[in-house]
Structure 1
Amino acid sequence: MRFGIVALAAAALLLVGCVPQPDATPTPSATALPFATDDEAFAAAEATYRAYVDALNQVDLQDPDTFEPVYAWLGGQMLASERRLLSQMHADDWAISGNSKVERAWPITTGEISTIGICLQVSDVRVVDRDGKSVVGSSRPDTQEMQVTVVSSRSSPTGLVIDDISGLEAAGECTS
C-alpha cells in the first residue's frame, strides 16, 4: 500500500481543522525574487507549492528517506518544523494514506517575499496511529484554505522555497 501525505504545512490543520495561525514574519532573502513580472513570480510560487505537495504525496512514514524531497522545497523555520513533525510521526508509527490535491491557487502579494492563497483538497487523506485509530479531527474540512509564503532560494529548481504556511486570513475563498 502506497502511503501519501497531505501538505504537512497543514498537518496541524489536518488533525484539528483549519484555524488561522498568528502571522509569522518570514525572513526575507538577500535579494528580490528573480522574476521579471508578477505573473512569473506567481507561476513560480504556485509551481513550488505544487512540487511540495507532490513530494508530500510520496512520503512513506515508515521510510525517512522519502522525507528528503519534501525538505528540498522548504526554508527557514518551515524546514525545521517539518523535520520535527515528520520525525515525530515516524517515531509514533503513524501512517498516512491518500493524496492531497491543489484545487486553486491565486496571488496575494508579490515582491521580495511573495504569498499565494491555496485551496488544498484533503478529503482522501487518512492519518492513523499505530493502532489504526484516526488522528484526524472530526471537524477537518475537506478543503484546507491556506496562505503560503515563498522566498528566493538558489537551491530550488523554481528559484523559491516555502518559508511559511498558515491558515488563510480571509476564509471562504475555497467555497466558491
Structure 2
Amino acid sequence: MEGSQGQNEPRPLGIEDLEACLALDRMALNGLWTSKQWTRELTDDHRIALGIEDAESQLIALAAGWLVADELQITAVAVAPHQRKQGLGTQIMKALIQRGGIAGAVQASLDVASTNRAAIALYASLGFVTTGSRRKYYRDGSDALLQWLKIENSRDIHTDQTDNSNTFRH
C-alpha cells in the first residue's frame, strides 16, 4: 500500500531484505551491525523488523526491536539521509511500537546518543522520556541516553498521542 509521498506503508522485513538492511545501515548508521547481527534480527521469532520502501522499492527507513517479557527493546532506527525530515522516522517508529503492543509489550525502551538531537526530538514527540544515561557508550565516545515509553492498552493501540503523559491513546 502506498503512502502519500510515493512511499509504501511499513512492512515486516525478512531474511530476503538482508542486503537492503545492510546497505541502509551503512548509509544511515555508519555500519552499526554486521551481516550476522542483521540475520539474527530478521529471523528470530522474538524480534520485530519493519521497513519502508520508496516508489522504486528501495529500503529508505527501518526500525527493529525485540520482545523481552512485556518490553519492546528498540534496537535500531534508520532513515536514509536523503529521505530525512519527511516523517519517515515517526511513521516507522509508530508502526514498530504498535506491533510491539499487539505482541504484548506494555513498555518500550531504547538508547540514543546524547549528541543525536534529531533522534532525541523524534523520540520525545512520541512520548519517550529519558530515565538515565551511560557514559561513553558509543564508539565515538558519546553518552547514551536511556529512554522509556509506557504503552497503555497495548493490545488495542492507536498511535495518536493524547498529551505529554508518556502514553498513547487506545
Relative to the length of structure 1, the TM-score reads 0.28
Greater RCO, CA 8 A, separation 6+: 1
